[in-house]
Amino acid sequence: MEASHYTSDLDPSSVLGFGSALAMLDSTEEVARLLTGALRSMGLADLQAVVLDPDADAGPRVFGSLGTHPLPAPVVDELRRGVPFPDTADARGTPSHHRVEVPQESALADQGIDHLATVRLGTLDQEFGRVVAGLRADDTHTSLQLSSLQMMAAQASMALHRIALHREQESQQEALRESEARYRELYENAPVAYLSATAEGEIRMTNRRATELFAASEDALTGRSIPAFCTETPEGQEAARRLAECLRSGAPVRDDEVQLCLPDGGRVWVRLTMRPIEAGDRASDRLIMMVDVTERRRMESALREARNELERRVQERTAALEQANEHLEQRTRRLQALRDIDQAILAAESPEEIATATLRRAREIMPFHRASVSVVDWEAERAQVLATRQKDETLAGGTTIPLDAFFLTDALRAGEADTIDDLAAQPSSGVAETVKDLGVRSVLCLPMMDDEELLGLLQIGRTRPQAFTDEDRRVGTELADHLAIALRQAHLRQRVETRTAALEQANDRLTHQTQRLQTLREIDQAVLAAESPEEIATEAIRRVRAILPYESATVTVTDWEAGTAHVLAAADNVLAAPSTLPLDEVYLSDTLRAGDTEVLSVEAYASVPEAEARMQEMGLQSILCVPMVVEEQVIGVVHVGRTQPTAFADEDRRVGRELADHMAIALRQSQLLEEVQAQRERLEERVQERTEELESFTYSVSHDLRTPLRAIDGYTRILKEDHADQLDEEGRRLLNVVHESTQTMGTLIDDLLTLSRLGRHEMNRVTIDMEALAQETIDEVRRAHATEAVTFDLAALPAAAGDQSMIRHVFSNLLANAVKFTQTESDPRIEVRGEVRDGKRVFVVRDNGVGFDPDRADALFGVFERAHEADDFEGTGVGLAIVDRIVRRHNGRVWAKGKEGEGASFFFALPSPDTETP
């Protein structure tokens, strides 16, 4: 805000002079300053201000002064906000005034202003702001002063209105200039040609595209007549006349295509649009727009020529297609007939039916008077008529013709069609005369081929000579080919049916054989599960009933030396099993004794009354007797009985033979197994006796050796303690050698005693916490040996079954060995691991010591076997033998792995806790 210090030279009483001064001003700020200066000069107010309404660029503006001083900022803000102006005003168009009392809290009151006189600045339809005249409490405006104030406000409003109108005009003029510039830019850079011309067609102005189109400058085109550019052709002159008329009348032209002749002699086609222009003094000007369509017209011309050529080709192709369609329809009808023939052939089952069905439908595609189908039998040197199609039964189906009387040319034999053009011109023969008598004059003979072999002929007869065309040959050949395929398939079908029947029979036999083998396999499994000859025989005759039905069956073994027969098993028989009979009460013919199968009737048992009585009691009429033979010796007989006479076929004999062979092998194996078991028991008794004797001897020898060893050890100590000073250095060394050897011998005796006790030790089998046991043994080894540098790594171990005190010996020996053989290592490590493997608990003690030769891994567990020299590592060579003895007593096994310089691993496997005690 700028405070007004404007001082006017006007006579304050002359309002007319104020109005003249306003007429010279051209800004609203100057008007506001002049008005506030006039109010101060005239003494109309202690505070004079003009508040102009906000415009587009800023908010309300305040101009004025307080006496001769600028308005304070709080007063300016208050006036800008409109305080304390009233909210309503008088009707627009009058410079009405208001008296406004200044509130005590107002910034105006702070300056001593008591009340205000406000006058509106504006016209009938526009607001400019307010004139504010503030007075102190003791002052008031007279009527003349208020009239002067209103008059000056009205004059200021008129000046403000004049300034606003002037600014609006300038804005419109600027917009007009910008619009003209944009239009000129669009006109000049338009993608089409624009020309401005008079009503007479004279060119006034062109744009850049127009000069490019006419290939001439704007100066060269200006003043020339547009219709004059039309070509001299009749069409061009008509277009020129029509264009000139539209130019004169001002009638618009829209998209009229005209050919123009350019200044350089070239020709161009344009699409022309014209409309009149209303522009001041050039009210008769015309605006013409031209678009170059030369290329499009050229393409349309080429397209018309191509379309004409295409129509010509289409007509030719249509004629060809109509002709091809006619042939196709004929072919379709022929194919439909062939399809019907194929369906009829498929429904037929024999060559005769196939030939009959073919001829019945062949007339639809190939008219004939007579037709026949014949097949050739080269071995029998004859032809057989399968079917004919004629009015009578002459040479009907089933007729045979010798080949020398049958029409067969070399062409037919080679698979090519042949014709008899006129039977009347052919030499007379029996068949030809017969056919000629039926009214046939020409015959088309069509070969039916199977690869390169002639199967037969399809013969078509007509009543006139030379009646067959090439088309007839093609159709007939196609029909003959279909017929040949069908006949070949019929022969194949007959062969397949014959082969299928044979395969079904073979399959039935195979099914029966499979069932027999399955039953025999079940018998074998049951025999393997059986434990005695009686169980073997019982299971065998029980299961064989599925493949060898019977009413009664027995299995008997013979003891030729004792003269008895032992009945192992009986099914539905009066004999009980097991039972023993004298051989003279059992039928054993010479045939059976020789190992051959025999089928007997009940009458054959007359020589053995006891056996005959048993057969009659059970109502048996035929008995299958199959000897069981082992190493050419009959060991027994399988009897199978049925109540019908002669009830056993060859297949039953084979099944019985297989059963007897299986039984013989099983019984022999059972006998051998019993013998082996008895021999094993005798050997175990002898081994037990020898073991007890050996253990007793070992214990006695070890015990008896202790007394002399104690004496040697005692005397050695006495010599060392009491007489050492009487011995020289060599004597004392020898004495130490004797003492150490005595100690080693004592240790060896202790190990041998331990080994001997293992055989007599009663095992107390329990579930062992192997991890806890291994930890206890590690602690014991630590206490017994110098193991400060050794690292023991014990993993989680599975539980096992065994004698805990004996398994402690295993861990103790393996851990002590590991400590001994790692004593030369800088960082000795011993690991103890365990896992479940194949139902067994497998444990390993692994070290990183000196290892051993892997070739001696199995020998390490023998008594007195050592992996290294005694001078290198102390020991007796019995520790691993003790481990092996303990593990084997637990039905386990022990083994070792290692390499020299790479450490050793000793494994042992024990039963799981849920394993039954052997």
Compute the average pLDDT of residues 800-816: 85
For residue 457, list its beta bridge partners. 374, 447
Burial of 51 (0-12, 13-18, 19+ CB in 10 A): buried
pLDDT in tens, 444-489: 898 988 888 888 888 888 888 888 888 888 888 888 888 888 888 8
pLDDT at 814 over 80: yes
Tell me the range of 84-88, 196-200, 345-349 where mean pLDDT is highest. Answer: 196-200
Q: Higher-confidence residue: 696 or 759?
A: 696
pLDDT at 143 over 70: yes
Q: For residue 863, what pLDDT is reported?
A: 55
pLDDT at 269 over 90: yes
pLDDT at 604 over 60: yes
Burial of 780 (0-12, 13-18, 19+ CB in 10 A): middle
pLDDT in tens, 409-449: 888 888 888 888 888 877 766 677 777 777 888 888 989 88
Q: For residue 92, what pLDDT is reported?
A: 42
Q: For residue 832, what pLDDT is reported?
A: 92
Q: For residue 842, what pLDDT is reported?
A: 92
From residue 508, give the alpha-carbon distance in Å to each of 430, 545, 560, 648, 756: 53, 19, 42, 19, 69
Range list of H helices, 190-293? 208-214, 218-221, 234-249
Q: For residue 742, what pLDDT is reported?
A: 64
Q: For residue 490, what pLDDT is reported?
A: 79
What is the Cα 5 distance to its own chain's centre?
94
The structure tokens listed for 737 are 């050698």
Question: Which residue is listed with tokens 């039309």?
Answer: 230
Percentage of the chain exceeding pLDDT 70: 84
Q: Is the dihedral angle over the CA atoms 91, 92, 94, 95 positive or is it negative?
A: positive
Compute the average pLDDT of residues 620-640: 87
Q: Which of 114-123, 597-606, 863-872 has the lowest mean pLDDT?
A: 863-872
Radius of gyration for the chain, computed over Cα atoms and rounded to the nearest angstrom: 70
Burial 695-723 (b: 16+ CB within 10 A, else e): beebbeebeeeeeeeeeebeebeebeeee
Q: How far apart are CA 301 and CA 295, in angstroms?
A: 10
Q: For residue 160, what pLDDT is reported?
A: 87
The structure tokens listed for 848 are 């990183």
Q: For residue 886, what pLDDT is reported?
A: 82
pLDDT at 279 over 60: no
Q: For residue 834, what pLDDT is reported?
A: 92
pLDDT in tens, 161-218: 888 888 888 888 888 888 777 777 777 777 888 888 998 889 988 888 888 888 888 8
Task: Determine the residue type at 855.
Answer: D
Q: For residue 835, what pLDDT is reported?
A: 92
* pLDDT band of 833, cuts 50, 70, 90: very high
CA angle 396-397-398, nearest 5°?
115
User: Do residues 483 and 354 lie in contact, with contact meaning Cβ atoms separated by under 8 Å?
Assistant: yes
Question: How is residue 884 annotated by DSSP?
Answer: H
Q: For residue 10, what pLDDT is reported?
A: 38
Q: For residue 94, what pLDDT is reported?
A: 47
pLDDT in tens, 521-576: 777 666 666 667 888 888 888 887 877 888 888 888 888 888 888 888 888 877 77
Compute the average pLDDT of residues 129-146: 87
Q: For residue 734, what pLDDT is reported?
A: 73
Mean pLDDT of the chain: 80
User: Do residues 61 and 77 lie in contact, with contact meaning Cβ atoms separated by under 8 Å?
Assistant: no
pLDDT in tens, 242-268: 999 998 888 899 988 899 998 988 899
State phi, psi for 892 to the nearest 5 degrees: -115, -170
Compute the average pLDDT of residues 696-700: 64
> pTM of the prediction?
0.33
The structure tokens listed for 714 are 């005692």
For residue 579, list its beta bridge partners. 567
Q: For residue 43, what pLDDT is reported?
A: 82
Q: For residue 8, what pLDDT is reported?
A: 39
| Three-state DSSP state, 904 | strand
Q: For residue 4, what pLDDT is reported?
A: 40
Q: For residue 907, what pLDDT is reported?
A: 92
Q: For residue 762, what pLDDT is reported?
A: 66
* pLDDT band of 866, cuts 50, 70, 90: low
pLDDT in tens, 309-336: 999 999 999 888 888 888 787 777 777 7
